[in-house]
Amino acid sequence: MLRIGHGFDVHRLVEGRELVLGGVCIPCAHGLLGHSDADVLVHALIDAILGALALGDIGQWFPDSDEQYRGVSSIALLAKVMASEDLAGWCVANLDATILAERPKLAPHIPTVRATLASALGVEPSCVSVKATTTEGLGFTGRGEGIAAHAVVLLQARNSAPVPAS
Nearer of residues 42 and 52 to Zn ion, judged by Cβ:
42
Least CB distance to Zn ion at residue 40 (A): 6
Nearer to Zn ion, 8 or 156 (CB): 8
CB of 95 to Zn ion, least distance (A): 17
Distance of closest approach, residue 156 Cβ to Zn ion, in angstroms = 26
Instruction: Find the distance separating the first CA and the last CA of the chain, reported in whole Å.
Output: 22
- Per DSSP, the three-state class of 110 is helix
Q: How far is the CB of 119 from Zn ion (least distance, A)?
A: 21
**Which position's Cβ is nearest Zn ion?**
43
**CB closer to Zn ion out of 62 and 90:** 62
Q: How buried is 107 (Cβ within 10 angstroms: 0-12 exposed, 13-18 middle, 19+ buried)?
A: exposed
Binding site for Zn ion (CB under 5 A): 9, 43
Q: Is 126 helix (H, G, I), strand (E, B) or coil?
A: helix
* DSSP per residue, 28-39: -SEEE-SSS---
